[in-house]
Amino acid sequence: MSEYDHKKIEEKWQKRWEEAGLYRTEDAVQGKENFYTLVEFPYPSGDLHIGHWSAFAVPDIFARMKRMQGYNMLYPIGFDAFGLPAENAAIKHGADPAEWTLKNIERMRLQLKQMGNMFDWDREVSACDPSFYRWTQWLFLQLFNKGLAYKKKAVVNWDPVDQTVLANEQVLSDGTAERSGAKVEKKELSQWFLKITEYADRLIDDLDGLAWPEPIKDAQRNWIGRNEGAKIEFDISSFDKKIEIFTTRPDTLYGATYVVLAPEHPLVTELAGTMINHSEVRQYVEAAATKSDLERQEHKEKTGVELKGVKAVNPGSKEEIPIFIADYVLSGYGTGAIMAVPAHDERDREFAKKFNLPVRTVVSEEGTLVDSGTFDGMTSEDAKQKITEHVGGKMTTTYRQRDWLISRQRYWGTPIPIVYDPEGNAHAISDEHLPWVLPSDVDFTPTGEAPLARSKELKERVEKLFGKGWTPEVDTFDTFVDSSWYFLRYLDPKNEKEFASKELQKAWMPVGRYSGGAEHTTMHILYSRFFIKALYDLGLVTEHEPYTVRMNRGLILAEDGRKMSKRWGNTVNPDEQVNNVGADSVKMYLAFIGPYNEVSSYPWNTNGLIGVRRFLERVWILQDHLSDDSSDNTLGGLVHRSIKKVGDDVESMKFNTSVSALMILSNEFQKLETVPQDAYEIFLKLLAPFAPHMAEELWERLGHTTSIHLETWPVYDPQLAQSDTVAIVLQINGKKRGVLEIGHDSSQEEVLAAIQRDQKLLKYIDFKPKKVVFVPNKIINFIV
RNA sequence: GCCGAAGUGGCGGAAUUGGUAGACGCGCACGACUCAAAAUCGUGUCCUUUCGGGGGUGUGGGUUCGAUUCCCACCUUCGGCACCA
């Protein structure tokens, strides 16, 4: 017997598999159903870290088992190669982003191959490759042509560290940037948006039909933030304009004792001539404009200014009420104006108190209306609709979510395929000019101004193609645009005529299982759902939802329980671990560390890794203790129970308990004098997805000449999976008193008879029970 | 404040159409092998005990013959949203 030399074995099989094209995936295989398992493609920002192993090596277990179960499995990989992390790293190392990225991809590809996953490398895609980004550009233009992409001047989030705008989704609730950690500022800029808000309802409603974990769906619902309410118009006395407000409580209309506009509300300027404290108002508006959202929230005291000399009319009570501007009302939500009901809204109450405004209670404690004209006595719920109708308002829905800001003032991204005529009108760049290539004659140091503006080549290219005075769009796409469709390119990576043929989309989509990081729930996952819906409406894709099942995985922490970080010096280097114990051990340990499909965090434990390595060594040694005898009785139904347990748990991605089941079976093998070869072969097949190299090596040593990964997954016999005997618990008043081994499905009489025969158990029932609770195969409980 | 998830040994975790709590692994202890150590193998390992038992799954109640599992209230931690009208 030789030693378990993981290096030799893993190198050998990775080479052989590649030569044999073992993991090349055909688009169709006779008699097999296609199944698409997806993992998020990585940023090529440097070395592989242990998180990559958890993200890619562990779901490979699922893909491999499904393959053995007879599915034609697609498990592809690529690189999310555009974007800030790569660019920032390149700048830090004084390198060109393109060179830097390509070098990293090369390095990471080698590291990824050491995992021994069943990736089909022929399908590798890279977002920074012109053959990929021409389709990112093309798809964007389809949206542009349908009016789903637009450029607009708006107050946007500005990241002063990364020197670019950010989407709302990329700003954390504490007002810092998700990536750089910088305090986000506000800036008014002209930017490109995608109309994700137009899809808000469908993005929420279609969640109901998805078999995803509920918490992920809830997070998306929260983010979109649908809110039912009413829009109601308030007249302005002696001015021919109305103030439209949004409220979720139209039933409290009679309690509205003032109106508040956001400082940015257009009426503020229009009313300038009418109000008498014009300069005071302007001062407030200007002050508000410089404040970030975070700063607005920081001061606890409400501030505001009354527009003196103008009044609004409450359409319910017809009373004249004052108009204020205050920064506690946000311009981007609802209509940017509210009716203030201090009696029934905490914020309004606070404001009213400070400005000494009247408080009028209009809903009694029982929930019926008071002091509300003809509506008195009506329930609050009924009144919502009735009052809205009465004053000519309309019931409406608003959303927290804003349109998706996709342009960035950075270099390393897909160029936005737009040019401007001399009048400044945006035009799509026609297909013949795609890919619209990223220029290379650019100093890409971030300055806040888009680096492409400095490209002479780009400027000349545009003038040459479109005429004098024409200018290029100089912003690039955020990398989330690339990742909104990358999974479609895997299906047809070499197609030069289409981003992915309909035929292949039909063959593979939707993705059957998508596993990734929880941080993408309200970013990538939401964006890509929108993208696919929009493309579906354009007739370009075959599905209106991209993922049948999405699962978020947990986080691997450092051994000290903190996040792994170079700063703490607590990182675990996967290369080192693979060198020490092998890829199979690292993969299997990460599978064993905890339930994969739960968003939790698991501290790395090198001793735990060694434990898994020990397990594999014991499996290795078993090869010298085989016998030709088949169906050894001592194993009973354990082999069949193991097939069931491992299969069920891998299916639901509970890899930790499936590893445990393999360990139990192997432990039983070890207790035997010799292990029956047929049982051992079944065990190797169960092990194959978890430790593909070792299982393959042992399989070959048994004399097989074809790959174990082409074997079919063992099928268990439900009869044999049951053990011959069951343990029945003997309870007195619900307290455990003993255990009785007895045949399957024994009747109560048989169990009682068995107790009579057992001296130890008999002593517990030397009385006449009031009642006997008998649950077949489980318990017998005597009530005294 | 709203929405959601979770609290189980020294540690990661297992067990839920209610039926032996702590599988599997780590750690620890003891033993075998060894001059010795490491490795390996074996045994033990929730607490407590007068060895009959008694207690125990965040806390307090409840339902039940029986609750980690179901119900009520509370505490703690984590995640999403948040001056969103």
ipTM of the complex, rounded to two decimals: 0.95
- Distance CA(A57)–CA(A71), nearest Å, equals 19
Protein CA at A561 to nucleotide C1' at B11, angstroms: 11
Q: Which nucleotide is nearest to A215 (CA to C1')?
A: B4
A734 Cβ nearer than 7 Å to chain B strand = yes
What's the CA–C1' distance between A260 and B34, in Å? 86
Q: Is strand B in 7 Å reach of the CB of A672? A: no
Three-state SS for A201-261 is HHHHHHHHHCCCCHHHHHHHHHHHCCEEEEEEEEEECCEEEEEEEEECCHHHHHHCCEEEE
Q: How many residues are recorded in chain A? A: 784
Which among A353, A375, A371 is positioned nearest to A362, based on CA atoms? A371
A428 touches strand B (CB under 7 A): no
Distance between CA atoms of A74 and A120, rounded to whole angstroms?
8
Helix (H) or strand (E) holding A622: helix A606-622
Report pLDDT for A294.
Answer: 65
- Protein-to-nucleotide distance from the CA of A757 to the C1' of B54, whole angstroms: 28
In this structure, are residues A654 and A647 in contact, taking their beta carbons and an 8 Å threshold?
A: no
Q: Pick out residues 315-334 of chain A having their CB under 7 A from any atom of nucleic acid strand B.
A: 327-330, 332-334
Burial of A565 (0-12, 13-18, 19+ CB in 10 A): exposed
Cβ contact A46 with chain B strand, < 7 A: no
Cα–Cα distance, A322 to A303 (Å, whole number): 15
* Tens digits of residue pLDDT in A442-498: 888 888 889 999 999 999 999 999 999 999 999 999 999 999 999 999 999 999 999
| Nearest residue by alpha-carbon distance to C1' of B78 | A600
Using C1' positions and the CA of A245, the closest nucleotide is B85
Closest C1' nucleotide to A340's CA: B85
Closest C1' nucleotide to A613's CA: B25
Neighbours of A47 (CB within 10 A): 13
The residue written with tokens 């660019």 in the block is: A87
Would you say the C-beta of A735 is within 7 Å of strand B?
Answer: yes
pLDDT at residue A1 in the model: 55
Q: How is residue A660 written in tokens?
A: 């445990």
Among candidate residues A112, A53, A49, the one with its CA nearest the CA of residue A79: A112
Locus of tokens 């209670």 = A361
| Protein-contacted positions of strand B (CB under 7 Å) | 2-5, 11-15, 19-21, 23-27, 39-42, 53-55, 65-67, 79-85
Distance CA A330, CA A324 (A): 13
Per-residue 3-state assignment (H helix, E strand, C coil) for A50-88: HHHHHHHHHHHHHHHHHHHCCEEEECCCEECCCCHHHHH
Q: Residue with CA nearest B15 C1'?
A: A657
Question: Within a 10 A sphere around the Cβ of A264, how many other Cβ atoms?
Answer: 19
Nearest CA among A595, A397, A488, A526 for reference residue A125? A488
Question: Stated in angstroms, how far is A592 CA from B46 C1'?
Answer: 23
> Is the pTM above the cut of 0.90?
yes
Q: Which residues contact A562 (CB under 8 A, 6 or more apart)?
A: A568, A570
- The string of pLDDT tens digits covering residues A648-689 is 999 999 999 999 999 999 999 998 888 999 999 999 999 999
Nucleotide nearest to A222 (CA to C1'): B81
Residue A594, CB, strand B, below 7 Å: yes
Strand B–CB A763 distance below 7 A: no
A219 is near strand B: CB distance < 7 Å = yes
Tokens of A392: 């000519």
- Strand partners for A125: A78
Q: 3-state SS of chain A: helix, strand, coil percent to 5?
A: 40, 20, 40
Residues 6+ positions from A672 with CB-CB distance below 8 Å: A625, A632, A634, A635
Residues of A from 172 to 211 whose C-beta is within 7 A of strand B: which are they?
172-173
* CA nearest to A526, candidates A169, A127, A156: A169
| Token couple for A702 | 């048994």
* A748 CB inside 7 Å of strand B: no
A736 touches strand B (CB under 7 A): yes
CA A599 / C1′ B67 distance in Å: 27
In this structure, is the CB of residue A781 within 7 Å of any atom belonging to strand B? yes
For residue A299, what pLDDT is reported? Answer: 56
Q: What is the 3-state secondary structure (H, E, C) of A346-390?
A: HHHHHHHHHHCCCCCCCECCCCEECCCHHHCCCEHHHHHHHHHHH
CB A411 within 8 A of CB A97: yes
pLDDT of residue A633: 62
Distance A719 CA to B66 C1' (A): 29
Is strand B in 7 Å reach of the CB of A297? yes
Nucleic chain B contacts, protein chain A, residues 230-259, CB cut-off 7 A: 246-249
Nearest nt by C1' to A521 Cα: B80
CA A687 to C1' B10 (Å) is 31
Interatomic separation, CA of residue A299 and C1' of nucleotide B70, rounded (Å) = 46
- What are the C-alpha distances in Å from A212 to residues A311, A437, A653? 51, 38, 13
Indicate the SS3 state at residue A768.
Answer: coil
A782/B64 CA-to-C1' distance in Å: 15
The C1' atom of B29 and the CA atom of A614 lie apart, in whole Å, by 21
Greatest alpha-carbon pair distance for chain A in Å reads 107
Count of alpha carbons within 13 angstroms of residue A435, beta-carbon side: 18
Give, for A529, the enclosing helix (H) or strand (E). helix A524-537
Query: Where does residue A183 rank: exposed (0-12), middle (13-18), buried (19+ CB within 10 A)?
Result: middle
Tokens representing A459 are 């400027």
A347 touches strand B (CB under 7 A): yes
User: What is the rounded distance in angstroms from the CA atom of residue A663 to the CA atom of residue A669?
Assistant: 10
List of A residues 495-554 with CB within 7 A of strand B = 518-519, 521-522
* A387 CB neighbour count, 10 Å cutoff: 26
CA distances from A211 to A536, A547, A577, A723 (A): 20, 9, 36, 34
Residue A731 Cβ < 7 Å to strand B: yes
Rounded, the Å distance between the CA of A391 and C1' of B14 is 62
User: In this predicted structure, what is the pLDDT of residue A298?
Assistant: 62
End-to-end CA distance of chain A: 62
- The residue ranges of chain A whose pLDDT is under 50 are none
Quick check: A625 CB within 7 A of strand B?
no
Question: Which of the nucleotides lies closest to A400 (Cα–C1')?
Answer: B84
CB A667 within 7 Å, strand B: yes
Q: Name residue A736's amino acid.
A: K
Q: Which nucleotide is nearest to A782 (CA to C1')?
A: B65
Residues 429-458 of A with CB under 7 A from strand B: none
pLDDT of residue A637: 86
